[in-house]
Amino acid sequence: MDQLKNKRILFLYPYGYWPANPNCVSFIERCEKDGIPFDLVCPSALNCRGDGKAISEWAWLVRRLFFSAIKQSFRRPWKTPIIWKTLLHFYDLKHRIKNGRYSSIVTCDATGLGLLQRMALKQTVPIIYLSYHILFRSELKTRNEQILARRESQMIQSVTLALSQDESRKKLIAAELNLPEEKIQCIPVAPEDRFKKKDSLAPSNSSKMILYCGNIEKWNIEEVLNSISESIPAGYHLRIHTHFQPPKSLYKHLLKLDEKQLLRFSFSFLSEEELVNLIDSSHIGLAPYFPKSDSWMVNKTLHHIGKASTKIAYYCMRKKPVITTPLPSLLSALEKYPFGIAIEDWTRIDESIHEINANYGLFSKNAHDYYQSELCPTERLNQFWKKTKNLVPSSSAQTHDRF
């Protein structure tokens, strides 16, 4: 068999639940539509695709793989089989790359580049770099972070094409990595509008839903949860939905708030269509962001979130007004397209809800205008995907593997 027909794209995603990232969903869809074989490797075996095998999360982050595997085995003996299986998967992937299985590699953030750098590959495979969390060198605190930053810088020379979310983040990542701006294309982390709105998703006589959908962390809603729960006005209710089960103490707290009817809490994995239906049945979407100095992933990079907010993209796509925080990158969007309100004091969320409801139609229209004008990623995704496909030998696209 012609060796070119075996050429694949490797998607190396350092987080477990890649379907939550609309850019990644769109890339995989285009790959399947164009009949290009691919493997997808991530920390979750359930979410790997093709011949990709899970590499557990700890292995993406540690400095010394064997030493860490031994240490992890002593600390968590019940996970020993998974730990050593991860090690085998790491070297199996290294072998596949070394033997020319892949025409290009798509990976995310410093963590993805760091894993590639540890493979010490002699030949260069073109890398498409998706930047979602910027590792600012001024924020490095631990030796692990310093080494991760160094590995990212060492691998950046192999990057052929890069993605950032907007012009501001593009300039930041270019300066941080000494990466030429012409290699970076801006695509918001936004879904493509592929689902029609269904009628009568919310009964007209029911209370109106104020929706928060996403992770529950100190850098988003956790620290203001009580304030919001107690401040929702009559005729409205707060709905908290998350894909990931919160820590035990937080989980119990959410259940207690649910029992007191201060919120409605749900924890489940939703398909994109189910998520869109949930948003359609809501009245207003919440997107709070609170940068935290204790982590580079949610500090300065969060301060400059801009069009990296998936929540805002989903809400605006479905014409839902948004209540968010007054970060500069969000305030500039709100000034141009007044699709919601940014507030500092979340105990006064009731005032924002009433203000939006007094002119709901205009807020809703502005939200959709913002999505259509600046967030809708389809055209930019097509351009980016065309450049990615140009790195794949033409005969590879003739063989379509179904997974």
Backbone torsions φ then ψ of 249, nearest 5 degrees: -65, -40
50 token code pair: 């093709």
Closest CA to 204 of 281, 104, 132: 281
CA distance 218 to 96: 40
- What whole-number distance in Å separates Cα of residue 203 and Cα of residue 238? 16
- Domain 3-187+377-398: give its CATH code: 3.40.50.2000
Report the candidate in 80, 11, 90 with the shortest Cα–Cα distance to residue 55: 90
| CA distances to 21, 58, 223 from 296, in Å | 20, 17, 19
CA nearest neighbour of 266 among 236, 249, 246: 246
Beta strands in 98-213 (DSSP E): 102-108, 127-130, 159-164, 184-186, 208-213
The predicted pLDDT at position 3 comes to 42
Give the residue extent of every domain in the chain.
3-187+377-398, 208-375
| Sheet-wide strand order for 322-324 | 264-267, 236-242, 208-213, 284-287, 322-324, 340-342
| pLDDT tens column, 35-70 | 999 999 999 999 999 999 999 988 898 878 888 888
The Cα 174–Cα 182 span in angstroms is 9
Per-residue three-class SS string for 362-393 = HHHHHHHHHHHHHHCCHHHHHHHHHHHHCCCC
Listed as own residue / partner, the contacts of 59-65 with beta carbons closer than 8 Å and 24 or more positions apart are: 59/86, 59/87, 59/90, 59/115, 60/14, 60/111, 60/112, 60/114, 60/115, 61/111, 61/114, 61/144, 61/148, 62/144, 63/143, 63/144, 63/147, 65/90, 65/118
Backbone angles phi, psi at 75, to 5 degrees: -75, -35
What does the block give as tokens for 49?
């695709």
Place of tokens 């596949």: 96
Angle between helices 310-317 and 360-370 (to 10 degrees): 120
Q: What is the pLDDT of residue 205?
A: 59
Q: Are 325 and 288 within 8 A, CB to CB?
A: yes
DSSP state of 49: B
pLDDT of residue 65: 86
Q: Look up residue 60 and give its amino acid.
A: W
Q: Give, for 237, the enclosing helix (H) or strand (E).
A: strand 236-242
The answer to whether residues 19 and 33 touch, using CB atoms and an 8 Å cutoff, is no
> How far is the C-alpha of 292 from the C-alpha of 270, rounded, in Å?
28
CA distance 17 to 283: 27
CA-derived radius of gyration, the chain:
22
pTM (two decimals): 0.91
Q: Tell me if domain 3-187+377-398 and domain 208-375 are identical in fold.
A: yes
Ramachandran angles phi, psi of 235, nearest 5°: 90, -5
Q: Which pLDDT value is given to residue 320?
A: 98
Task: State which CATH number among 3.40.630.30, 3.30.200.20, 3.50.50.60, 3.40.50.2000 fits the domain covering 208-375.
Answer: 3.40.50.2000
Mean pLDDT by groups of 10 residues along the chain of 403 residues? 62 92 95 94 94 91 85 86 90 93 95 93 87 95 92 93 97 96 97 82 74 94 94 95 90 93 91 94 97 92 96 98 97 97 96 97 98 97 94 56 32
